[in-house]
Structure 1
Amino acid sequence: MAAKKNFPLRIDPALYEALERWAGEEFRSVNGHIEFLLRESLRRAGRLPDRKTGEDRP
């Protein structure tokens, strides 16, 4: 497994609470759910590099 980048995140408390509820419903940690949401958003926008080639997907 590749090392993960750590960074601080400032977030509105109400937004965090909503994420916390959603993550719980999906049986994920808040951190895992944020990562999932970001990955899905990048994939849908065609900006997530292909794991095999390293190139952005069209």
Structure 2
Amino acid sequence: MLPDSAEHYDPSSQVRGSFMRSTQHLQRQHERGLTAADRDRRTIRLMLGLLLLGFAFWYFFLR
């Protein structure tokens, strides 16, 4: 005989709950007006900024 908690175990509700908890930050961003395209643009700007900083460091200190 299985214990009561094992008889009523519903894996789909646990997965659904985990998914909802892990996507709450995306829901908050969407409510503030941030979209996936905005996140992509921010990532590209950060990468370009790091590239420029790296080039400046190389030019002034390592060349």
TM-score between the two structures when normalised by the length of structure 1: 0.35
Greater C-alpha radius of gyration: 2
Please state which structure has a larger fraction of its residues in helix.
Answer: 2
